[in-house]
Amino acid sequence: MKTAFFSTQSYDRDYFSRFNTRHELVFFEAPLNEKTVSLANGCQAVCVFVNDQLNEAVISQLAALGIQLIAMRCAGYNNVNLAAAQLHNIKVVRVPAYSPYAVAEHAVALILTLNRKTHKAYNRVREGNFSLEKLTGFDLHGKTVGVIGTGKIGQVFCDIMKGFGCRVLAFDLIANKELQAKGIEYLPLVQLLPQCDIISLHCPLTEQTRHIINSDTLGLMKPGVMLVNTSRGALIDTRSVIHALKSGQLRYLGIDVYEQEEKLFFHNLSEEIIEDDDIMRLMSFPNVLITSHQGFFTDEALIEIAKTTLQNITDAEEGKTLVNKIV
Rounded CA-CA distance 59/72 in Å is 14
Burial 22-42 (b: 16+ CB within 10 A, else e): ebebbbeeebbbeebbebbee
Rounded CA-CA distance 232/238 in Å is 12
Instruction: Kindly report the backbone phi and psi dihedral angles of residue 142, in degrees, each rounded to the nearest multiple of 5, phi listed first.
Output: 90, -10
> Which of 22, 18, 27 is CA-nearest to residue 46?
27
CB within 8 Å of 20: residues ≥ 6 apart: 306, 310
List C-alpha distances in Å: 270 to 2, 225, 267, 288, 289: 35, 31, 9, 19, 17
Task: Determine whether 171 is exposed, middle or buried from the number of CB atoms within 10 Å of its CB (0-12, 13-18, 19+).
Answer: buried
- Three-state DSSP state, 37: helix
**Of 232, 259, 262, 304, which is the active-site residue?**
232
Query: Would you give the DSSP letter of residue 213?
Result: B
Instruction: Kindly report the backbone phi and psi dihedral angles of residue 250, in degrees, each rounded to the nearest multiple of 5, phi listed first.
Output: -105, 120
Query: Would you give the DSSP letter of residue 318?
Result: T
Please indicate whether residue 261 is annotated as part of the active site: yes
Query: Is there a contact between 222 and 196 (Cβ–Cβ < 8 Å)?
Result: yes
> Which of 251, 244, 324 is CA-nearest to residue 287?
251
**Of 73, 259, 261, 262, which is the active-site residue?**
261
List C-alpha distances in Å: 292 to 15, 50, 289: 20, 12, 10
Query: Is there a contact between 83 and 54 (Cβ–Cβ < 8 Å)?
Result: no
Q: What proportions of the chain, in percent to the nearest 5, are helix, strand and coil?
A: 40, 15, 45
Residues classed as catalytic: 232, 261
